[in-house]
Amino acid sequence: MAGTAIRRRLSWQRADVLAVQREARRAYRLSLRPPDWSGHLPGQHVDVRLTAEGGYTAQRSYSIASAPQQPGIELIVERLEDGEVSPYLTEVLRAGDLLELRGPFGGYFVWPAGDGPVQLIAGGSGVVPFLSMLGHHRATGGLRQVRLLYSARTFDDLIGQAELARQPSTVEVTVTLTRGAPAGWTGLTGRVDARLLAEHTIPPAQEPEVLACGPTGFVEAVANALLELGHDPIRIKTERFGATGGP
């Protein structure tokens, strides 16, 4: 029973591309309908494979942005200037195309079980798996306390603005902009450091499950600051994404 489920999800399948829409300054939202999809856990990712004439392939992993309760899946892809796959996904791919993918994968960096508080910390497009988690939390009417601290370069770089604006009262979203804020910005500015974490995240005394996702340097700085503040490493989970643009 489980065996067939596994084998089905392992194989590459060709998803219909329903839409490719601009999400933020450098990010695009891909709406996909895989022909064979039995759901995912919030926080999981898929592998995407591109094949050129002659058989050359390039493969990358992308977190799923949409909640499991939503039909199909959505990916949010940040365009990397010197990338090989992301420029294709954001500029060449369009509705009506087929995109090869497999998944979902990864049972580690997923929405934590239980009723305890959850602290999410995102840098840049590291917010993507958290959009899926927050969507799931909202759809299931969860009562646990959830906070998201989201660091982006500028206002125009913010991903998931529409979703983040419609969170239930159990969810508190704090945004900090690191490279300048527009006139009238009332949110935070500056990088995520120990001081900012101390002021705007769930304190270690409440023993939150902490998930941090973003560029490698961001995640490592955040993880170190969390330990400094007294969080138990056993309740800190990280997901780093690096320069995925290289061959």
Partner 1 sequence: MTDPDDAVARRLDANAAAGPLAELFTVDLTVAMATCAGCGNTAPLAAHPLYAHAPALVIRCPKCAAVVLRYASGGGRLRLDLRGARLLTVTLDGAAAHGLSPVQ
Partner 2 sequence: MSFVSRGFTGRRRAVPAGRLPPGQYDVGDGFPVLSAGPTPYTSLDRWDFRVRGQVDEERRWSWAEFQKLPRESVVVDVHCVTSWSKLDTRWEGVSVDTLLADVVTAAEFVVAFSDGGYTTNLPLADVTDGQAWVVDNYDGRPLAPEHGGPARLLVPHLYLWKSAKWVRGLELTVEDEPGFWESFGYHNYGDPWREQRYAGD
* Interface ranges with partner 1 (CB under 8 A): 2-3, 5-6, 9-10, 38-42, 44-47, 61, 68-69, 102-110, 113, 136, 215-217, 220, 237-243, 246-247
Q: What angle do CA 53, 55, 60 make, to 5 degrees?
A: 105
| Residue 16 interacting with partner 2 (CB under 8 A) | no
Task: Give the range of 89-97, 120-128, 177-185, 211-219 binding partner 2 by CB under 8 A.
Answer: 89-97
Closer residue to partner 2 (CB): 58 or 198: 58
Torsion of CA 204, 154, 214, 163, to 10 degrees: 80
| Residue 98 interacting with partner 2 (CB under 8 A) | yes
Closer residue to partner 2 (CB): 48 or 197: 48
- Cα-Cα end-to-end distance for the chain: 37
Q: Which residue has the tokens 């007294």?
A: 230
Distance between CA 121 and CA 225 in Å, rounded? 12
Q: Token pair of 182, please?
A: 């527009």
Query: How far, CA to CA in Å, does 144 sit from each of 45, 134, 137, 209?
Result: 24, 12, 9, 11
- Secondary structure class of 157 (helix, strand, coil): helix
Q: Determine contact, residues 177/189, Cβ cutoff 8 Å.
A: yes
16 interacts with, out of partner 1, partner 2, none, CB within 5 to 8 A per kind: none
| Residue ranges in 63-82 that form contacts with partner 2 under rule CB under 8 A | 82
Burial call 185-220: b when 16+ CB within 10 Å, e when fewer: eeebeeebeeebbeebbbebeeebbbbbbbbeebbe
Q: Which residue has the tokens 């840098």?
A: 123
| Residue 97 interacting with partner 2 (CB under 8 A) | yes
| Residue ranges in 151-190 that form contacts with partner 2 under rule CB under 8 A | none
Q: Considering the complex, what minimum distance in angstroms separates the CB of residue 185 from partner 1? A: 27
Could you say which of 3, 35, 55, 184 contacts partner 2 (CB under 8 A)?
A: 55
Task: Give the range of 36-44, 50-58, 197-205, 214-222 binding partner 2 by CB under 8 A.
Answer: 50-58
164 interacts with, out of partner 1, partner 2, none, CB within 5 to 8 A per kind: none
Could you say which of 21, 51, 140, 216 contacts partner 2 (CB under 8 A)?
A: 51
Return residues touching partner 2 (CB under 8 A). Answer: 14, 50-53, 55-56, 58, 82, 84, 88, 92-93, 97-100, 246-247
